[in-house]
Amino acid sequence: MAPHAMNPWVAVAYLVAGVCFILALRGLSSPATSRRGNRYGMFGMGIAVVTTLVTHEIASLPEILGAIAIGGGIGFVIARRIQMTAMPQLVAAFHSLVGLAAVLVAAAAFLNPAAFGILDDSGAILAVSRVEMALGSAIGALTFSGSVIAFAKLNGNMSGTPILLPGRHAINAAILLALVFFIYGFFDSQSPVDFWLVTGLAFLIGFLLIVPIGGADMPVVVSMLNSYSGWAAAAMGFTLHNTAMIVTGALVGSSGAILSYIMCKAMNRSFVSVIAGGFGAEAAAGSGEAKEQRPWKRGSAEDAAFLMKEAESVIIIPGYGMAVAQAQHVLREMADQLKKHGVGVKYAIHPVAGRMPGHMNVLLAEANVPYDEVFELEDINGEFAQADVAFIIGANDVVNPAAKTDKSSPIYGMPVFDVDKAKTIFFIKRSMGGQGYAGVDNDVFYMDQTMMLLADAKKMVEDINKALAE
């Protein structure tokens, strides 16, 4: 499988592919340019795949092309059928496949190193290749098992609350030390026992790291697993002597890590604490104390329609509840009706709204919400004081003023929307019982200017639309 390394056109092709991947990441940083970014990524991957097929000695090209066709067909069908609300668990599932692929490549290289061109003159695997192989298998196995758990939590197959195993930090530290020990053992002796122990322990640590992480931190987990999958691919790129894999993996790994760090800052979470497996989860898990009974006002669809029709400005704050109810399309219809009445409508998106980075942006884009109406937290937060209506649909923690006032709260310090400054607040949620991912009661429920609209988000917005039409 040795590539024709002396061919300069190979380096040029991989360079062009790398530039396309960089442009893809740049395009994906904004909803307005995300489609163009996707096209760059597809074009770059096409160049990389064709170059690899042409410049490597492949045993059976028809089998490789057949596998590509089958995999591409499956991906196309899934992409066409998947609901946007299920996108986070789909991303987690794809991450698991990347991790598993890295493990399989590492295992293939270990079992048949001659085919990979990684043997020295004595017939032993090159020392540097042993390190790359062990790291690729370890990171890939961790990514696979961690992504499977993330998928189960996001898909509802497992509880989204933190599962706190006794002594988990000591167990995790012991397993990580054992991983380092056996990686060195494999490097030193090329022992099959060491290789398979590294792989098995990495599968285990991936499970143990993600289980204690609760639903509130799932956006960080998804982006961090994305980072892990990139580093696994980069490690396998070294084993395969494939420049494109190294560049692509490094781009994905570094961008995922940076995104995770940004999101941790947006949630006032410690980056190290989250990736180390739920340090501080005890506080979040134990914060769901019994609420005192406080007076609150219940509103109706007619109330919301009347007051919003008379308003000059309405700011909509969507959250995961909108995603669950699949209310993005009727929400856009509501905004269109309000604009016909001369009302200014804007959407406020928190960096960690939903269950993966950009979740709300994807849903609003699917509903054809104009990009120039969608604003990030830092760009719109100052406008709530002049807004007539703050319309909260399925969000909770990202509008909770406890993040600014209650130092004992697990969300204290987290940047939140200043909805409490709006003249009127409409808050759609299923019932007064839910407390959001963080398990913290929300003072916005009980404010004088707040009307609670207790119903399924889609049904409530449909009723508001009917009232606006009348």
| 281 within 8 A of 364, measured Cβ to Cβ | no
H or E stretch at 170: helix 168-189
Which candidate, 71, 128, 129, 101, places its Cα nearest to that of 232? 101
State how beta strands 424-429 and 344-349 pair: unpaired
Distances in Å between the Cα of 153 and the Cα atoms of 88, 201, 207, 211, 410 are 10, 22, 12, 9, 21
Among 46, 144, 28, which residue's Cα sits nearest to residue 94? 144
**Cβ atoms within 10 Å of 333's Cβ, excluding its own:** 17
Q: Are 375 and 344 in contact (CB under 8 A)?
A: no
d(CA 396, CA 428): 10
Could you give the C-alpha distances from 248 to 23, 86, 103, 290, in angstroms and in order? 12, 26, 18, 49
CA nearest neighbour of 389 among 305, 294, 325, 456: 305
Tokens of 288: 């769901």
**Calpha distance 33→52 (Å, rounded):** 29
Q: What tokens does 251 get?
A: 């781009």
SS3 349: strand
CA-wise closest residue to 359 among 94, 87, 156, 95: 87
For the chain, report the end-to-end CA distance as a whole number of angstroms.
70
Helix (H) or strand (E) holding 467: helix 457-469
Sign of the four-CA dihedral 459, 460, 463, 464: negative
Q: Residue type at 436?
A: G
Catalytic residue chosen out of the listed positions 217, 397, 441, 463: 397
372 noted as active-site residue: no
What residues are annotated to the active site? 397
